[in-house]
Amino acid sequence: LLPRDVSIVEMAPRDGLQNEKDLIPTAKKITLIDMISECGFERIEATSFVSSKWVPQLADAAEVMAGIKRRPGVRYAVLTPNMKGFEAAMAAGADEVAIFASASESFSQQNINCSIAESIERFKSVAEASRARGVPMRGYVSCVVECPYEGAVSPDAAARVVESLHALGCYEISLGDTIGRGRPEEVDQMLVTVLSYAPATMLAGHFHDTDGWAIDNIDVSLKHGLRVFDASVGGLGGCPYAPGAKGNVDSLEVAQFLSRKGYRTGLSPEKLEEAARFAQSLRSAG
């Protein structure tokens, strides 16, 4: 893998596909991940070990993990909301797991069917198990600036969850603008507060791009010292439990923006474009 100043974590196979209504054949998901593996990413979020009732699209998580060609140097990460997901992820050979909480109570209930406090409690066993097995654990905070059900979310609410995930031992915490409506001023304020609970080197930006602010939000985050951003080839993405959420910011767009600013990402624009074309072809019509 090439040297890099900023890392982009690729989200299309997980965040990108989870919102697609028509079931995508497992073989195509595997092809997508294999194409993404050629782009130069260090980390790819491959799928989720969640309830298939909640996210039917990713019910084939184990088959996907079994089918991909693992590129040396690439970490294949998965979402694990509880011990059942963690065990399945380990059986499938995931290199990294992620727990996901929310800064808003309503989104927590809608997405993982429990309160924020209950979710942190539930994550304790996942954290212990991942520590025991030496598997890196990432954390997400959804709705760091806005919630689809409650509207504006206070920076303090986001910071409290960051603090909890940090205490659980997440090596990195990804800050999710789940519905992509955050303005750069709001992201700036949120970061000022959050940075008093965790250093910039432990934070990542996860911006959905509903209103076209994602690149500006990345720019603000760079000024605060963040050097990891989640993005998705072809701009795929969205959460079935976040009505109105559009895709993650496009990986190629982020790579080009960063390169204009003089940062190396280690990614190949040509390969990103190829993967984006294939990702786009998997979208349901309409």
What positions carry a catalytic annotation?
A: 239
Give me the least distance between CB of 244 and Mg ion, in Å please: 13
Candidates 47-55, 70-78, 216-224, 267-275: pick the segment binding ligand HMG (CB under 6 A). 47-55
CA distance 163 to 182: 21
Q: Is 13 in the site for ligand HMG (CB under 6 A)?
A: no
CB of 180 to ligand HMG, least distance (A): 9
Among 29, 138, 160, 206, binds ligand HMG (CB under 6 A): 206
Nearer to Mg ion, 18 or 82 (CB): 18
Kindly list the distances between the CA atom of residue 170 and the CA atoms of 33, 73, 94, 167, 205, in Å, as whole numbers in the listed order.
Answer: 25, 21, 16, 8, 15
| Using rule CB under 6 A, residue 50 touches ligand HMG | yes
Is 40 one of the binding residues for ligand HMG (CB under 6 A)?
no
Task: Supply the minimum distance, in Å, between the C-beta of residue 237 and Mg ion.
Answer: 6
d(CA 161, CA 284): 34
Q: Which of 6, 8, 16, 49 contacts ligand HMG by CB under 6 A?
A: 49
Q: Which of 97, 99, 103, 112 binds ligand HMG (CB under 6 A)?
A: 112
Residue 45 binds Mg ion, judged by CB under 5 A: no
What the block records as the tokens of 106 is 């309503």
CB of 269 to ligand HMG, least distance (A): 24
Report if residue 111 touches ligand HMG, rule: CB under 6 A.
yes
- In the numeric block, the tokens 């985050």 are attached to 221
Kindly tell me which of 10 and 15 has the beta carbon lying closer to Mg ion: 15
Residues lying near Mg ion in the complex (CB under 5 A) are found at: 15
Residues lying near ligand HMG in the complex (CB under 6 A) are found at: 15, 18, 48-51, 53-55, 79, 81-82, 84-85, 88, 100, 111-113, 140, 142, 176, 178, 206, 208, 239, 241
